[in-house]
Amino acid sequence: MAKRFTLGSKERLKSRKQIEQLFKDGKSFVHFPYRIYFQTSNATEKDAALQFGVGVSAKLFKKAVDRNRIKRLTREAWRLQKNELAELVNQKNSRLNVFFIFTGKELPDYKFVFDKIGSGIKKIKDKCGIAKADS
């Protein structure tokens, strides 16, 4: 079966309560130009196993057009690279909430964002301890 590269509404981290808990109790690290927050928990039936959110500071990017462009690029890079991480989370029967905050000072291009999201996902796997034993 072909892999599905989607980012549906169930996969987006939208709950204010979950986001606040992620920032309060979750772990974080800096992977320039992103600060990445993540939190694992036990799986529940109603939500997707892997949920994702992205934010950009209005202080650094005054124009909404620029903030939205960065968020759009980040979501697209995540959508194309998240499948391996989602499979690992499902195998472990747990949940993973991830939130990327863009902290760079200038507008990035897509290739740069794609590379950074990919290496950020690898770092999340290492820090969560959900990386495959054979890799």
Predicted local distance difference test score (pLDDT) of residue 49: 85
* pLDDT given at position 7: 83
Q: Give the model's pLDDT for residue 5.
A: 82
Based on DSSP, count helices (H) and strands (E) in the chain, helices before strands: 4, 4
Tell how strand 50-56 and strand 34-42 pair up. Answer: unpaired
Question: Per residue of the chain (135 residues), what is the pLDDT tens digit?
Answer: 567 788 888 889 999 999 999 999 999 999 999 999 999 987 666 667 899 999 999 999 999 999 999 999 999 999 999 999 989 988 888 889 999 999 999 999 999 999 999 999 999 999 887 766 544
Task: Using the structure block, give the residue that is written with the tokens 């169930």.
Answer: 10
Classify residue 57 by its DSSP letter.
-
pLDDT of residue 57: 95
Q: What pLDDT sits at residue 65?
A: 97
Task: Provide the pLDDT for residue 2.
Answer: 60
